[in-house]
Structure 1
Amino acid sequence: MKISFVLTGSGHKPVGGFKVVYEYANRLSAIGHTVTVVHPAWVRRDEPVVDRIKRSIRYVQRATDKTYEPKRWFPVDTSVELLWTPNLSSRFVPDADIVVATGAPTAEWVNSYGPEKGRKFYLLQHYESWDPIGLERLDATYRMPLEKIAISRWLCEVATEKGSHATYIPNGLDQREFFITRDPILRDSAQGIMLYHPLPEKGTEIGIRACEVVREKMPELKLTMFGVYDRPAGLPRWIDYQKSPSVTQLRDMYNDASFVVAPSVTEGWGLVPCEAMQCGCALAATDAGGHMEFAVHNSTALVSPASDVRALAANIERLVRDNDVRNSLALSGARHLTKYSWEKSASELNALFCRAHKNA
């Protein structure tokens, strides 16, 4: 089959949702499908003229130097075609058997395509309430005649609430990429790690405030943060910050930490806490929907209500103080995640596509 994935932009920076698509693209290509991943310079249909001019300039630049490709952070197989297009107009998207929207703005485009672009799917990776298209248009994408695939049970529930149905296929995890290299028992109990992201829904400020509450009692607490952005202005000096670490560096950072903080207010899944857990970090997480795929309170994590700084702080403090609890959660969390694999998830996705193609 010919399969097209439609992304929301350039792949030059690490993005969790893009990584999921690239993982699927590699595996579907490996079993014989012709796979294309489309990257548009702009995705919004109503983008202001000034912004379109800026993106047009960037389109020419990236088309020349190919910086739209994720080669700096993800190895896409050479058999997968990576397209860089001005937008997602149908003339820039190849004819195929299957076409997959991967975000709300792309769903609007895919919904407008003719049958020559393929059977239409919509990979739900989050309820994108922050997207500039607004809630009314966002909710409308759930009612479009696209076959929905949800990466978490929470997103299946969201789809149902919006009047649709979604097939549940959880994200896979690569056990060869992130794994334990240092016994959790031997690590500094006061060393934590957390992702930095400016989107309020990611809860970065909540996580920092919770750590500061703990640090008032335990000044030995240390936190390493990382992200694709420059060190944020105003980030407390006691927090270490690493910009765009490589996979090897990130694996080492996870293995240096005893716990990971996942403070999201809403979350479709949570790749970072999963990676850290694979490397033996105990998890302090909020009860954001996607976290519930792997965060089971007192079994694989300590879970607190989203946006509750004090409750999150209490769980972090418990992980630092109680070696038995921390080490037990670290090991049980890592074991729990072995049930997720990209081979299994890609096999389920392939079966879904094959059934759809057969019945087309």
Structure 2
Amino acid sequence: MTDPAQIDVIAPNFKKRLSGVTATVIRLVPLQARDIAIATTGPELPADMPQIPLSRLPFMSRSGPSGARVWHARRNIEMLAGLGLKYLLGKRLKLVFTSASQRHHTALTKWLIRQMDAVIATSDKTAGYLEREATVIRHGIDTDSFCPAADKPALRRDLGLPETGPVIGCYGRIRAQKGTDVFVDAMLRVLADHPQATAIVMGRATEKHQAFEQGLKDRAAAAGLSGRLLFLPEVPVWEMARWYQALDLYIAPQRWEGFGLTPLEAMACAVPVIATRVGAFEELVAGGQTGTLIAAGDVDAMVAAANAILDDPARLAVWSQAARRHVLDHFRIAQEAAAITAIYRSLLAQRG
């Protein structure tokens, strides 16, 4: 565990379950720790991360080594905790909030955001929903970890997947909002057109969405495709790169999304993407170069886009190379980390 007295920046992660925010914290904090004294705090974090136990926060010194510390929240509960530490327990904190949401905020969230010393938006669309100045810093990817497979057939064999034939993936929470049903309906048709193809749904359905997930499995079974339309359990963040590397095509079928990191993870592994026009996807996927953009909820468009690229292996190969280059040029996590750390340093330089 890290000594709070040596820490200038705290990036809390108060959610136990895997989420895009959790993945962001897990990837960013170790990288930022090379350049600034930062630690995270929260339940069930990887043991090798710099972190402070939640129980020690009320008892940490009032100030950090540089004076006021930075508290970087990404959820309402984390903004509330920062305010509590600052105003109830007297800790000297500069408060930062990152917003990925693309919707109008509740009165409580608006009030919390007004209390922040700095606000970061993960896309231009997100910034448009904030009623105050924000710095746009798009998410980036660890392109060393998320990279093309050296031996895709061997990797697939190790993962228990078919070594040959196209493999299409859809990863993340299983629920209607994420468009998992759209993906399944499209794959029932695409797999019929491509007898050698396999499709993967990987993720977790929370309790209230388990009936929804079972319904999707039943559709695959009724079509006789249970062996080719696979439903796999969620895996830890640090294992995800291998599952992208095994793919030929990734589909992000969301009906709504705040930012949406999965297309970047796929493209970093040289996997082209079909994505809906939600979240930041239009700012991430270069249509006609690294993938295709379609309307949310449009099964016919998803089928047409998937068939078009699977039927054209030469174009798929070109898009694969372009996808990797696109992420290297514009969405490396080092760029994101440096931009956020610059905001930390600016706040730490301020008096008070």
Please list the CA deviations of residues 8-29 of structure 1 after superposition, one character each: whole Å capped at 9, or x if unmatched.
323xx43221121233322332
Partner of 2:186: 210
How far does the alpha carbon of each residue in 1:305-345 deviate from its partner, in whole angstroms, 9 at most, with x for none? 12222222221121211223322221111110002222222
Task: Identify which of 27, 35, 54 aligns with 2:31.
Answer: 27
Does structure 1 retain, via aligned residues, the 8 Å contact 2:15–2:22?
no
Matched with 2:266 is 276
Q: Which moved more, 1:108-117 or 1:275-284?
A: 108-117
What is the CA–CA distance in structure 1 between the aligned matches of 2:60 and 2:337, rounded to whole Å?
23
Distance 1:21 1:286 in 2: 25
Instruction: Please tell me whether residue 193 in structure 1 is matched to residue 161 in structure 2.
Output: no
Equivalent-residue separation in structure 2 for 1:140 and 1:204 (angstroms): 34
Deviation larger for 331-340 or 149-158: 149-158
Percent of residue pairs bearing the same amino acid type: 17
Q: Quickly say closer, same or farther: Cα 1:239–1:82, change in 2 above 3 A.
A: farther
Q: Is the 8 A contact 2:268 2:323 kept in 1?
A: yes
Match of 2:155 in 1: none
> Offset of 1:157 from its aligned partner?
2.2
Alignment of 1:1-360 (within 5 A): 2-10=8-16, 13-33=17-37, 35-39=38-42, 68-71=43-46, 76-77=48-49, 80-85=50-55, 91=58, 95=62, 96-112=68-84, 113-114=86-87, 116-127=91-102, 135-159=106-130, 163-181=131-149, 190-228=166-204, 232-234=213-215, 235=217, 236=220, 237=226, 238-245=228-235, 250-339=240-329, 340-360=331-351
Give unpaired runs (5+ residues) of structure 1: 40-67
Tell me which amino acid in the other structure corresponds to 1:23. Answer: R
CA 1:93–1:322 in structure 2 vs 1: closer, same or farther (change >3 Å)?
Answer: farther
Q: Provide structure 2 residue ranges, at least 5 long, that are not aligned to the other structure.
A: 1-6, 63-67, 153-162, 221-225
Residue correspondences, number: 314
Q: Matched residues in 2 for 1:248 and 1:28: separation?
A: 17
Task: Flag the 1:28–1:182 CA change in 2: closer, same or farther, 3 A.
Answer: closer
Q: Distance in 2 between matches of 1:245 and 1:211?
A: 22
Q: Which runs of 4+ in 1 moved over 6 A?
A: none
Q: Distance in 2 between matches of 1:196 and 1:168?
A: 24
Q: 2:260 touches 2:279 (CA, 8 Å); kept in 1?
A: no
**What is the TM-score with the length of structure 1 in the denominator?**
0.76
Question: Structure 2 CA distance, aligned partners of 1:345 and 1:147?
Answer: 16
What letter matches 1:151 in structure 2?
Answer: T
Q: Secondary structure, in 3 states, of the residue corresponding to 2:96?
A: strand
| SS of structure 1 residue aligned to 2:214 | coil
- Alpha-carbon distance in structure 2 between the residues aligned to 1:351 and 1:248: 26
Write the distance in 2 (CA, Å) between the matches of 1:248 and 1:343: 17
8 Å CA contact 1:259, 1:281 repeated in 2: yes
When residues 92 and 246 of structure 1 are mapped into structure 2, their CA distance, relative to the original with a 3 A threshold, is same
8 Å Cα contact 2:27-2:142 kept in structure 1: no
Q: Work out whether residues 5 and 36 of structure 1, in 8 Å CA contact, stay in contact via their aligned partners in 2.
A: yes
- Distance in 2 between residues matched to 1:116 and 1:257, nearest whole Å: 48
Question: 1 CA distance for matches of 2:59 and 2:307?
Answer: 52
Deviation readout 1:86-115 (Å, 9 max, x if unpaired)? 9xxx84787452111111332344345326
Aligned 8 A contact 2:170 2:202 in 1 = yes
Q: 1:118 to 1:176 in 2, by over 3 A?
A: same
Summarize deviations over 1:277-297 as a string: whole Å, max 9, x none.
Answer: 222212111111311232121
- How far does the alpha carbon of each residue in 1:36-81 deviate from its partner, in whole angstroms, 9 at most, with x for none? 3232xxxxxxxxxxxxxxxxxxxxxxxxxxxx3333xxx643xx22
State the AA in 2 paired with 1:326: L
Higher mean Cα deviation, 114-123 or 294-303? Answer: 114-123
CA distance in 1, matches of 2:75, 2:236: 26
How many angstroms apart in 2 are the aligned matches of 1:30 and 1:319? 41
What's the offset of the Cα at 1:248?
7.7
Deviation of the 1:122 alpha carbon: 0.4
Q: Distance in 2 between matches of 1:343 and 1:290?
A: 19
SS in 1 for 2:53: strand
**Whole-angstrom CA distance in 2 between matches of 1:247 and 1:4:** 21
